[in-house]
Structure 1
Amino acid sequence: MPTHLDTLTPKQLGFKFPAEWHPHRATWLTFPHNEASWQGDKLARMRPQYLAFIKEISRGEKVGIVAHNQQLKAQIEEWLDETGVDLNQIEFVIKPTNDAWCRDHGPAFLINPDTRQRLVLDWGHNAWGGKYPPYDDDNRTPIAIAEHLQLLTIQPGIIMEGGSVEFNGQGTVLTSRSCLLNPNRNPHLNQAQLEEYLANYYGIEQVLWVEDGIVGDDTDGHIDDTTRFVKEDTVVACVESDPNDANHAVLQTNLDLLKKMRLPNQKQLNVIELPMPKAVMIDDFRTPGSYANFLICNAGVIVPVFNNPNDQLAIDILENVFADKKVIPLPATEIIWGQGSFHCLSQQEPSV
């Protein structure tokens, strides 16, 4: 059973949240089964894209799957076998689940580079400000995975979502005011207090703030839809070239802020512009389609594409950015109906 440490913070213990490009032992997913996120036939329609995502991750690392029950586990194994996934690359945790967004309700894995230890942060989860109850089963996911892996856990005691924070692995975290300072998360905390939590529990030195997120994003502006670290000193930042588009002004504001930012060594942040897809509409609903919602894994960089005029332009930019990695475009045209994509669905477990 994990040990709960209540006196020392991870930073004091020498732990930190590594950059996503740090080698992974596994990537964790919570398998979707709840039609509240993909109504009617949409759950069945998104499943082949989800299984293709698992297949690509599994080429380079284990895939941990949280399955709602044994019956679903058996069905998942059948689907994965039909998809051509090596089942030796899959490990399961069986526990009740509410939703699929493991980035936000799953464990945050920290490493200690000196002692080669790992631990799990078990933040609180309230389904993006209480928007989608019930969420109590998902809130128990970090503990279940920590028990499976026999890892220590620390519970900071506040609400935090993995999609709201972006790390360079060298002491800097990016986040957005619209989400992290939203009163529906931690109304008892001001900006300085939140920054203290980020520093003490993620083991970082500096918090950089953008303003807001994109249309269709029901998380109040998660950073992983707009701005992502691709190197210690480099980010890709989403931009919308059409001045009449609802995303244009907010992304321009974020871009202006990013260009003024400095790292702790006073080096200017290197900002590479990444286009937004033309509006990704499904049933008259504008989804939060974004090429920034990619997952960096051992096998490469899995990028959502939307059968969109800007797909190839985004792929070309990311292939140039990730010159030493394989860029793997995968269709997310059905997944995006759930208002998230590959990064939102996954949480990496670093190796040590």
Structure 2
Amino acid sequence: MTDWRMPAEWERHDRTWMAWPSSGYTLGATVEEADDARRTWAAVARAVARFEPVTMVVTPPDVGVAREHLGTGSEHEIDIVEADLDDAWMRDIGPTFVIADGRLGGVDWVFNGWGGQEWASWSRDAQVAGLVTDVAGATHLPSPIVNEGGGFHVDGQGTVLLTETVQLDPGRNPGATKESIEAELAARLGVTTAIWLPRGLTRDYDEFGTRGHIDIVACFSEPGVVLLHWQDDPEHPDHEVSREAEAVLLAATDAKGDPLRVVRVPAPRTLRDDEGPVDWSYINHLVCNDGVVACVFDDPRDEEALAVLREAYPDREVVGVDARPLFDRGGGIHCITQQQPAI
């Protein structure tokens, strides 16, 4: 049996994969909303391409408009692979890349629209992980569980962060237990220690949420160090979520048996939008080769949060991209990207 391992995000990448917004709520209902989505996806792609190559999966009718928005002159290439799509959240629909003995593998989780949400369609997105795995020349590793890449974070040394409301969601894996999920993650990702947070951010449980993805709550920035979304305003419901998560993390140990150091990353000062309490989060960043592409929100806390990220990743350039159009659609920068590790 091959001992596959998911590298930590800060390990070297061969490239980052993305998917182009082409239909539905992700693209928007008006010309203006569609332009906003395309500009934002392109801005993230160009920011990532400062540090490493990007491959964008694009529906065939949209190749021309994608090339127009992505432009030319990036430090690294942005190339296009054509395929049919329902949505554009590559972290969730794409494969999770793993490595073993100089080989690349692509874990193909079952994707069912974040637990079979009524508004979601996924017949085409469910094929994307296999396609990307094939194009990348990786070994196809199908998994029997419903899972999404935004639902876990690893330290690359055997520890994984999860939330109890994603992998144990009856809409995803009815009857699953922590033990059964941990066994599958051990086989696919090479993890031996799981740290389960009770829940995700409040807004993520609204109609268009993921029901608790970890990648807007907490992430490893190095072995033994977890960055935590910290809502310090008691007027926001995530005030309690942050404290609950911190208590679990401080009581936990990693795969080496060591306690974790928790670094609070301040939540934006903005508390609400027209839909209710926001889930804007600086945790939802992508670590690239020599860089970090981070969410900003034209918020007074942007610079403070970027300073925390610069301290967490001292050898990398931290670049901010306005992520409000992404969060309006239910995600962030980490949600629309998926790293392919170097082997």
Q: TM-score, normalised by structure 1?
A: 0.91
Distance change (3 Å), C-alpha of 1:85 and 1:129: farther
Q: Is the 8 A contact 1:287 1:337 kept in 2?
A: no
Say whether residues 1:169 and 2:156 are aligned partners.
Answer: yes
Alpha-carbon distance between aligned partners in 2 of 1:241 and 1:53, rounded to the nearest angstrom: 28
Q: Is the 8 A contact 1:216 1:339 kept in 2?
A: no
Paired position in structure 2 for 1:243: 234
Paired position in structure 1 for 2:175: 188
Paired position in structure 1 for 2:19: 30
Q: Is the 8 A contact 1:120 1:154 kept in 2?
A: yes
The aligned length equals 336
Alpha-carbon distance between aligned partners in 2 of 1:341 and 1:351, rounded to the nearest angstrom: 24
Q: Which of residues 264, 267, 270 in structure 1 aligns to 2:258?
A: 267
SS in 1 for 2:15: strand
Paired position in structure 2 for 1:5: none
Q: Which of residues 86, 110, 114 in structure 2 aligns to 1:98?
A: 86
Q: Which of residues 46, 51, 62 in structure 1 aligns to 2:42?
A: 51
Residue 242 of structure 1: CA displacement?
1.1
Residue 285 of structure 1: CA displacement?
4.4
Q: Which runs of 5+ in 1 are unaligned?
A: 1-11
SS in 2 for 1:43: helix
Alpha-carbon distance between aligned partners in 1 of 2:55 and 2:290, rounded to the nearest angstrom: 15
SS in 1 for 2:109: coil
Residue 85 of structure 1: CA displacement?
4.2
Alpha-carbon distance between aligned partners in 1 of 2:29 and 2:250, rounded to the nearest angstrom: 40
Say whether residues 1:213 and 2:203 are aligned partners.
Answer: no
Alpha-carbon distance between aligned partners in 2 of 1:33 and 1:282, rounded to the nearest angstrom: 25
Q: Is the 8 A contact 2:54 2:76 kept in 1?
A: no
Q: Is the 8 A contact 2:218 2:228 kept in 1?
A: yes
Alpha-carbon distance between aligned partners in 2 of 1:145 and 1:59, rounded to the nearest angstrom: 22
Paired position in structure 1 for 2:95: 107
Q: Is the 8 A contact 1:55 1:85 kept in 2?
A: no
SS in 1 for 2:279: coil
Say whether residues 1:199 and 2:190 are aligned partners.
Answer: no
Say whether residues 1:121 and 2:111 are aligned partners.
Answer: no
Say whether residues 1:153 and 2:140 are aligned partners.
Answer: yes
SS in 2 for 1:319: helix
SS in 2 for 1:264: coil
Alpha-carbon distance between aligned partners in 2 of 1:338 and 1:39, rounded to the nearest angstrom: 12
Deviations 1:175-216 (A, max 9, x none): 001222111110032111111111111111111111111122
Residue 331 of structure 1: CA displacement?
1.1
Alpha-carbon distance between aligned partners in 1 of 2:80 and 2:264, rounded to the nearest angstrom: 38
Q: Is the 8 A contact 2:6 2:154 kept in 1?
A: yes
Alpha-carbon distance between aligned partners in 1 of 2:135 and 2:171, rounded to the nearest angstrom: 31
Q: Which amino acid aligns with 1:100?
A: A
Residue 49 of structure 1: CA displacement?
2.4
Q: Is the 8 A contact 1:58 1:85 kept in 2?
A: no
Give the alignment of 1:249-328 within 5 angstroms. Answer: 249-279=240-270, 281-328=272-319
Distance change (3 Å), C-alpha of 1:208 and 1:284: closer
Q: Which amino acid aligns with 2:326?
A: I
Q: TM-score, normalised by structure 2?
A: 0.94
Q: Is the 8 A contact 1:179 1:221 kept in 2?
A: yes
Alpha-carbon distance between aligned partners in 2 of 1:56 and 1:42, rounded to the nearest angstrom: 21
Residue 39 of structure 1: CA displacement?
3.4
Alpha-carbon distance between aligned partners in 2 of 1:177 and 1:299, rounded to the nearest angstrom: 33
Q: Which amino acid aligns with 2:23?
A: N
Distance change (3 Å), C-alpha of 1:274 and 1:56: same
Residue 47 of structure 1: CA displacement?
2.3
Distance change (3 Å), C-alpha of 1:110 and 1:251: same
Q: Which of residues 142, 150, 167 in structure 1 aligns to 2:129?
A: 142
Q: Which runs of 5+ in 2 are unaligned?
A: none
Q: Is the 8 A contact 1:16 1:203 kept in 2?
A: yes
SS in 1 for 2:202: coil
Q: Which amino acid aligns with 2:83?
A: K
